[in-house]
Structure 1
Amino acid sequence: MHKAVIAATGLYTPEQSISNDELVAAYNTWVDQWNAANAAAIDAGEIEPKSHSSSAFIEKASGIKSRFVMDKEGILDPSRMAPRIPARSNDEISILAEMAVRAAEDAIAKWGKPVSEIGAVICAASNMQRAYPAMAIEVQQALGIEGFAFDMNVACSSATFGIKTAADLVANSDKAILMVNPEVCSAHLNFKDRDSHFIFGDVATAVIIENEANAGPGGWNILGTSLQTQFSNAIRNNFGFLNRTHLPTDTAEPIPSDGLTDKLFVQQGRKVFKEVVPMVSEMIVEQANALGIDPHSLKRLWLHQANINMNHLIGKRVLGREPTAEENVIILDEYANTSSAGSIIAFHLHNDGFEVGDKGLICSFGAGYSAGTVVVEKRE
């Protein structure tokens, strides 16, 4: 059986970006307004006042310095604190599909082959904007691809699960698979929560996987993949059609900062750190050993861009020493956490300097818990 090959990758980055200073200024203005509006209850000891955030706190906690977003104005409006993304008619391309198409076009241009050589589309992302029709089918139509398409969601691990799925599909196929990861993470983030208001950004990535027998020169052999899931409530988002009666009827308005906040992203950060770091580190080492590869010899790690402290510790455990910045790629300082797209951004932007035969690792981890590893080798 022929190996699967990562033939090309693509990236779409929104034009707008928010620095930590800008985000903090908006958040602290909202805090001051909230504290003033609830002054009587605060003075009576009925509720606790909200605390300010700071750029120093954000960078120390996460390593994030800025993030790209689809709507800067709505997020930085203290009276709103949420992106304003207008609804589109059913005759217009959806926002996620549009982002995915932009990333896919970048990948296809680098690939250098016609879309007629693609036989399927997988849209793997943490949040789909609707239940159906599938975003993947809309992307398929927009690009003029024949064959089939489907969506899949494994939260932040969606891309590695998508690569594994695509690799299995092309094993006995003459057609390539396009896997896209459009993420408007700012739309499910609670910008009124000091502990998480800084975490996410928006972006889209794309990966083209094809059978080695059909691949041209270059690209990356997929030497092996490993997937793992373990149920946990430590990262959760309860938004869904079954709880629609509890949400504001005007969907243009942001979800308020009250009992409905569990319909947005929530996590127990310390618990996630404590449980996910050993799970992922051990999984990577076990996968490398199973392939007969010394994990210390991996030239580069393209990890999920969740938190710089998590990534540094995982890198240290896998490589058996402090990794260099070149070995353990960090892009979350500029992009923040982009869920499923993070490891693919890192791989897309920083895969230079490899000789034929050099090996690296794409890895993602997140809600579920879910984790996926893809060991790759530079091709001739």
Structure 2
Amino acid sequence: MSRGAAVTGWGYALPPNVVTNADLVARLDTSDEWIVERTGIRERRVGGTTGELAEAAARRAMAQAGLEASDIDLLILATTTPDQAMPATAVGVAHRLGVQAAAFDLNAACSGFAYAMVTAHAMIATGVERALVIGAEVLSRITDQDDRSTVILFGDGAGAVVLEVLPGDDRVLAWDQGCDGSAGHILFCEHGSTVEMQGREVYRRAVRTTLESIQAVLERAKLSPDDIALFVPHGANLRIIEGINQRLGIPMDRTAVLLDKTGNTSAASIPMALAKAAEDGRLAEGDNVLLSGFGAGMTWSSVILRWGR
């Protein structure tokens, strides 16, 4: 019998400290209007560690799924901001949760959570029963707090889902992912330094690569944009999301967006928006959910889920 998977639990966590646009305006040459017009962001959360935020989101996902630590046999943490070079931050998260299972970090930048979902799904197909898939970031740690082009964008947070085996069926309908290493220079962070970004080039490539990835995954799932009940894009910039939606024909009221309250949280943005949408009752049994992210590398990944089990 084939082994598919379904999302059975979800949760997210944000640090308590809020940095509003007004806070940035008070010390930088910028304005609330300028930030909102170019990004859609009004505030972002800052604080904690990647491991702390990941643990909090994971606990909520496990509780939602009705699972104990002993039920989990895989933990994948997508992050670009691990707490140390080694061991993997996932190892400490697993220890504090009481999970005694395979655990590792995965870095595909802002595409990381979707990459981790595909990886967990493949491992479930070959024997894993229940996986915790987490995206967590503390981007404030690698952001130049005096650079108005980046400090307005990035925030901290974590989101998590439980992906469980579903014998004889599969709620992961299709996926697409890839990278173009020739674009590594347009968004990067050296060890011990801060994020550097060519904003206009990132925007141009993000819209194109995301659209191509979404078109590929829709074709593989034999669906059209009209079949998507909820689109959960990486929350990088509202103008990028609106550009993608316009070309796809998906209205914003069928899109999960949190970045106005969180900023760009890289690998955490998709699972946080998905968990918040589920928490708010925006998803029903059988809904087709499209996840799509792009990030430094340049990486991209799209996944279509059928909600429920």
Give yes or no for TM over 0.5.
yes
Specify the alignment match of 1:280 in structure 2. 210
Structure with greater Cα Rg: 1
Distance 1:121 1:378 in 2: 21
Contact 1:289 1:295 in 2 (8 A): no
Say yes or no: does 1:234 pair with 2:164: no
Comparing 203-212 with 220-229, greater Cα deviation is found at 220-229
> Which residue number in structure 1 is paired with residue 32 of structure 2?
55
1:343 matches 2:270: yes
Mapped to 2, the partners of 1:305 and 1:338 lie a distance apart of: 7
Report the equivalent of 1:327.
Answer: 254
Name the structure 2 match of 1:144. 98
CA–CA distance in 2 between the matches of 1:13 and 1:140?
Answer: 19
1:158 aligns with 2:85: no
Q: Deviations over 1:37-73 (max 9, x none)?
A: xxxxxxxxxxxxxxx21111111110000011117xx
List per-residue Cα deviations over 1:109-132 (Å, max 9, x = no partner).
101022211112111111213111
Paired residues for 1:151-190 under 5 Å: 151-173=105-127, 175-190=129-144
In structure 2, the partner of 1:11 is 12
2:128 and 2:20 mapped to 1: Cα distance? 45
From 96, 106, 111, the counterpart of 2:60 = 106
Q: Give the gaps of 5 or more residues in structure 2.
A: none
The aligned amino acid for 1:290 is: R
C-alpha displacement of 1:314: 0.8
Partner of 1:363: 292
**Higher-RCO chain (CA-CA 8 Å, sequence separation at least 6):** 2
How many angstroms apart in 2 are the aligned matches of 1:355 and 1:135? Answer: 33
Query: Number of residue pairs matched?
Result: 304
Separation in structure 2 between the aligned mates of residue 340 and residue 63 of structure 1, nearest angstrom: 19
The alpha carbon displacement at 1:172 in A equals 3.0
After TM superposition, the structure 1 = structure 2 runs for residues 195-274 of structure 1, keeping only pairs within 5 Å, are 195-213=149-167, 221-231=171-181, 232=183, 233-239=185-191, 263-274=193-204
Could you tell me how far apart the structure 1 residues matched to 2:298 and 2:40 are? 22
CA contact (8 A) 2:53 2:136 kept: yes
- State the Cα RMSD in Å: 1.8
The residue matched to 1:223 in structure 2 has which SS?
strand
Superposition deviation, residue 214 in structure 1: 10
CA distance in 1, matches of 2:172, 2:291: 10
CA contact (8 A) 1:24 1:54 kept: yes
Q: Which string of whole-angstrom CA distances, capped at 9 and with x for unpartnered residues, describes residues 69-107 of structure 1? A: 117xxxxxxxxxxxxxxxxxxxxxxx3222211111111
Quickly say closer, same or farther: Cα 1:368–1:142, change in 2 above 3 A. Answer: same
Report the TM-score when normalising by structure 2: 0.93
2:236–2:264 contact (8 Å) kept in structure 1: yes
Structure 2 SS opposite 1:131: coil
Amino acid at match of 1:346: A
Aligned letter for 1:106? R
Percent identity (aligned):
28
How far is the alpha carbon of 1:329 from its aligned partner? Answer: 2.1
State the match for 1:47 in structure 2: none
The one-letter code of the counterpart of 2:178 is Q
Assess if the C-alpha contact under 8 Å between 2:136 and 2:159 holds in 1: yes
What is the TM-score of this pair, normalised by structure 1?
0.77
1:289 aligns with 2:219: yes
Structure 2 residue matching 1:345: 3-state secondary structure: helix
Give the superposition deviation at 1:348.
0.8
Q: How far apart in 2 are the matches of 1:182 and 1:376?
A: 21
For residue 372 of structure 1, report the CA deviation from its aligned partner: 0.8
Aligned partners of 2:8 and 2:164 also within 8 Å: yes
